[in-house]
Amino acid sequence: MTHRLLIMGPQGSGKGTQAKLLADRYGIPAISTGDIFRANIAGDTELGRRAKTYIEAGELVPDEVTTSMVRDRVAEDDTTEGFLLDGYPRTRAQVDALEAILQDLGKPLDAVIALSVNRNVLVERIKRRAGIEGRSDDTPEALDRRLAIYAQETAPLLDFYREHDLVVDIDGSQTPQEVDAALVAALDAKLGADA
């Protein structure tokens, strides 16, 4: 059974943690746009050079570049049994592009994981992460901006996936272990007990 998954949730919802746990459990690659950018830049690919110019200028990498990188990554051999996308798509144009890519490859999504977390919990998690990792981008102001962008641009994408009966809703405010257990149970129920 394949596990072609997409995980969505606001900053601090635990997407990265859960993506790694699920990828390890199902033996599939967790594919984040950040990892794709870094790999292309490190590999000095044409797409990496294009992305680097935008990143160094402090601008968002255009959809066409990001989508091309995602297309290349999900076509790689290690995605035969599935993959878990984290951080893409973020806009409706990216949803449409991803649908076209997956249709061309014959690799439709099996499920979309939606992590929901109370705003106060998100703020506490981000503060804690900023203290531990010393990330300069984890400020209350930056979080406010990211949450506003997520609510305006990304959260509505779940409506598209709900229309296609792909969404698995998970309360991400629990401990990582509890979220993992809830995710596995929900995915088993959705995709079949042998998942």
| Residue 4 annotated to the active site | no
Q: What is the CA radius of gyration of the chain?
A: 16
- Annotated catalytic residue within 4, 50, 73, 90: 90
40 assigned to some structural domain: no
51 assigned to some structural domain: no
- Annotated catalytic residue within 4, 15, 50, 125: 15
Is this model's pTM higher than 0.75 or not?
A: yes
Tokens 């033996």 sit on residue: 27
- Annotated catalytic residue within 50, 73, 125, 146: 146
Name the strand (E) or helix (H) holding 53: helix 46-56
| Mean local confidence (pLDDT), 159-180 | 95
Q: Which two tokens stand for residue 8?
A: 């969505």
Whether residue 193 has pLDDT greater than 70: no
Whether residue 195 has pLDDT greater than 60: no
Q: Backbone phi, then psi, for 158, in 5-degree steps?
A: -60, -30
177 assigned to some structural domain: yes
Half-sphere exposure of 119 (CA within 13 A, CB side): 9
**Dist. CA 100–CA 91, nearest whole Å:** 14
55 assigned to some structural domain: no
131 assigned to some structural domain: yes
At 72-126, the pLDDT tens digits run 999 999 999 999 999 899 889 999 999 999 999 999 999 999 999 998 888 888 8
- CATH number of 137's domain: 3.40.50.300
66 assigned to some structural domain: no
54 assigned to some structural domain: no
Domain coverage including residue 161: 3-29+82-190
Domains: count for the chain = 1
140 assigned to some structural domain: yes
At 19-51, the pLDDT tens digits run 999 999 999 999 998 889 889 999 999 999 999
| Residue 49 annotated to the active site | no
| Residue 25 annotated to the active site | no
| Residue 146 annotated to the active site | yes
- Annotated catalytic residue within 20, 25, 71, 129: 129
The Cβ of residue 34 has, within 10 Å, a number of other Cβ atoms equal to 11
| Residue 90 annotated to the active site | yes
